[in-house]
Structures are given as structure tokens and as C-alpha cells.
A = this chain, B = another copy of it.
Amino acid sequence: SPTSEIMKFGFPSYENIKSRNDYVLSYNRMHRTANWVIEHLTSDKLRQRNADRSESIFTEDLSVPEMFRSTNKDYSKSGFDRGHLAAARNHAHSQDALKDTFYLSNMSPQVGEGFNRGIWNRLEQQVRSLTKVYPDVYVITGPLYLPLVENDGKKYVKYQVIGKNNVSVPTHFFKIVVGDRRKEKNDAKLELQVFLIPNRSIPDDTPLHAFMVPLESVEKASGLTFLDKISRSAIKQGRLTT
């Protein structure tokens, strides 16, 4: 099944799992946004463009109990974009798969200018281009709420919440990109590049690799464990080949 293929490296956690046509998501009822979303990209899938994006509209996720649900009204006039976690363009091979990416459970409040429409978009494009090199690309995306040291020398986590339902505005987003060419190269390791980007406007000329971090940083900050079905010695962390 698509789900078992997408999830072949393990579940980062087991809270409120939602299996969609072409991605799998864990929903956080307190934050009213996902904990993580996992996608599987191939060049074949990306080449097909059978879906019409104009038919897709942002939709409340009725599988989430109403009291824990985010709504379009929460985002309206908030100043934040409804930022896709599983990117719409990654799933345009089928109308149903595309439609699934428009559930509000797949959105997080993102800074628009310079982030969602800037560096985040650039990152999503780069991830898609990796399918030219890696037959299988897996992507794990999620929000983070990171502490900062303030003037009193103490560490605080601080984030905005928007709308009547208090949808959390993440301070950062992570994207874990797995390039798998073990199908063609017998001795190949699973390759891994991890990005951690603050949810704010980033200058256009900032290179993506400036936001590379070790996988362990995202695990420690999120409370999640990634790729636990794979021995760490079979994983190579660093920049993926483009």
C-alpha cells in the first residue's frame, strides 16, 4: 500500500495518524497543526500532472474533532499564510492526492513573503529536483517551537497563536530529506540532509545549506525519532547530490 511504502523507515511518533492518498500525517490536537508529515517522491509521479490545482480549496479536516480543528477563519487576517507541509505540487499526479494536501490539518501558519513564498518554496523545488538523482526521495516535514535565551539569561519558548482556535505559529520548520539510490547501487547508503529554517523572511540569496543541522538536533527539539527501522551506520548524513 502507499502508506507502508511511505512509512517504510518507521513512524516518528504515533499520535493521531492520518493516512492520505499520498502522504501520512500525525496531528497535534493542542497545536491544531501536524507533528510531522511524510511523503514519498519519484520522478515518475512528479512528471504526471493530471490534477487541476484550481479545483482544490483549503478545507477543514472533519476527521479532527471540532474543538481541536483549525479553520480558514483562524488564518484569515492573521498575516500568516496557510503553509502546506506536504507540498501541493508534490501530489499533482492525481486529483485526489492533490485535494488531500489542502486539508487544514496539513497547514501551519507560515510567514508569507520571504518564507512560504521564498526560501521554503525554494527548498521544496530543490527536494523535487533530487528525484533526478535519487530514484526514491522521502521527505519528513514538521513545525518546531524552539527556545531562545532572553535578556535575563533564561531560556524561553515563545510563539504566537492565531484565531479563535489558537492555532500555533511555529518558530521553525524542519525538513528531513532522504535520498535512496539503493535500488541502483547495491552498496549505497541511505542519504540524509536535514534542514531547520526559522519561520520568518529570509534574504533570497541565502543558500539552503546554511540551514543544515544534524538529525539529532531535530529529534531532541521535537521529541520525535526518525528512521528507526534503519541502522544509523547505514545512513550517510550531509549534502545530497544535486
> A14-B15, A15-B14, A216-B67 known; A28 and B161 CB under 8 Å?
no
**Count of A residues near B, CB < 8 Å?**
30
Which residue in B65, B68, B158, B225 is a CB contact (below 8 Å) of A156?
Answer: B158
- What is the minimal beta-carbon distance from A100 to any residue of chain B, in angstroms? 22
- What is the minimal beta-carbon distance from A28 to any residue of chain B, in angstroms? 7
A96 within 8 A of B: no
Which residue in B160, B220, B221, B223 is a CB contact (below 8 Å) of A155?
Answer: B160
Determine chain A's interface SS by DSSP, over half rule. mixed
Specify how many copies of this chain sit in the oligomer. Answer: 2
CB pair B65 A29 closer than 8 Å: no
CB pair B166 A160 closer than 8 Å: no
> A28-B223, A30-B223, A223-B68 known; A166 and B159 CB under 8 Å?
no
Q: Which residues of A (135-173) have their CB < 8 Å from a CB of B?
A: 147, 154-162, 166, 168
- Give Cα distance in the complex from A230 to B147, angstroms: 39
A29: chain B residues at CB < 8 Å are 13, 223-224
Which residue in B13, B30, B157, B220 is a CB contact (below 8 Å) of A67?
Answer: B220
Q: Which residues of A (205-242) have their CB < 8 Å from a CB of B?
A: 216, 219-225
- What is the minimal beta-carbon distance from A65 to any residue of chain B, in angstroms? 7
Look across to chain B and name the residue whose beta carbon is closest to the beta carbon of A168.
B157
- Give Cα distance in the complex from A161 to B31, angstroms: 18
> A14-B15, A65-B225 known; A154 and B160 CB under 8 Å?
yes
Look across to chain B and name the residue whose beta carbon is closest to the beta carbon of A148.
B161
13 contacts between A and B (CB under 8 A): A29-B224, A65-B225, A67-B216, A67-B219, A147-B161, A147-B166, A155-B162, A156-B158, A156-B161, A157-B157, A157-B161, A157-B168, A158-B158
Q: Which residues of A contact B (CB under 8 A)?
A: 13-15, 28-31, 65, 67-68, 147, 154-162, 166, 168, 216, 219-225
